[in-house]
Amino acid sequence: MSQLVIKKFAQPDERRLFVAHGHVDLIRLKGGSIGMGVFEPGWRWSTDVQPIAGTKSCQVAHTFYIVSGSMEIVMDDGSRGMLSAGDVAYIPPGHDAWVVGGEACLMVDFEGMSDYARRGESLAQQAEAQQSTPAMQ
C-alpha cells in the first residue's frame, strides 16, 4: 500500500551550492526529485554551474514554474526566450541561462534536478566512461 509523503523545501533532502550566486534544494519523492532553484542576481549557468557539470552547455531538460524573478535562456542553436514570474516552461538539453535584473529568480523544477549541479563525477565524465566501456556480450 502506498503512503502519503509530505516534505518541505525548508527542510530539503539535499542542498547543492552553485560556484556562486545561489543553490538548488532537492526533495526526493517516489516519482523522482523536485528542485527549488534560487538563482541570485549575477547567476549564469556558464559561470556558476558549468564548472560543476563539465559540459559546454546545460545538458539537463527542465520542466519548471517560475515563482519570482526573470531568466533569459539561449539554446545551442541560438534561439532565445525570456521567462518571468508565473511562466511554466520546458527547456530541452543544450542551453545557457542567466538571471535578468536585480531580483533573484526562484523556480520549482519538476524534471531536471536529480543530476543538476551535482558535484563529483561530472555528467561529461559519466558519458565518456560509458562510451569507453566495452559492451557486455
Percent share of the chain, pLDDT over 90: 73
Instruction: Flag whether pLDDT at 112 surpasses 90.
Output: no
Number of domains in the chain: 1
Instruction: Flag whether pLDDT at 127 surpasses 60.
Output: no
- Identify whether 30 is part of a domain: yes
Read off φ and ψ for residue 22, nearest 5 degrees.
135, -165
Q: What is the mean pLDDT of the chain?
A: 88
Instruction: Flag whether pLDDT at 136 surpasses 50.
Output: no
Phi-psi region of 4 (alpha: psi -120 to 50; beta: other; left: phi over 0): beta
Tell me how far apart the alpha carbons of residues 122 and 96 are, in angstroms, rounded to a whole number: 17
> How much is the pTM?
0.82
- Identify whether 87 is part of a domain: yes
- Identify whether 41 is part of a domain: yes
User: What's the mean pLDDT in 108-132?
Assistant: 64
In the prediction, which pLDDT does 1 show?
72
- Identify whether 130 is part of a domain: no
Phi-psi region of 124 (alpha: psi -120 to 50; beta: other; left: phi over 0): alpha
Instruction: Flag whether pLDDT at 123 surpasses 80.
Output: no
- Identify whether 1 is part of a domain: no
CATH number reported for the structural domain that contains residue 114 in this entry = 2.60.120.10
Count CA atoms within 13 Å of residue 19 on its CB side.
13
Tell me how far apart the alpha carbons of residues 115 and 118 are, in angstroms, rounded to a whole number: 6
Q: Give the pLDDT confidence of 60-82 residue by residue, as tens digits.
A: 999 999 999 999 999 999 999 99
- Identify whether 124 is part of a domain: no
Instruction: Determine the structural domain holding residue 84 and report its residue range.
Output: 14-118
Measured CA angle at 68 (ends 108, 113), to 5 deg: 20
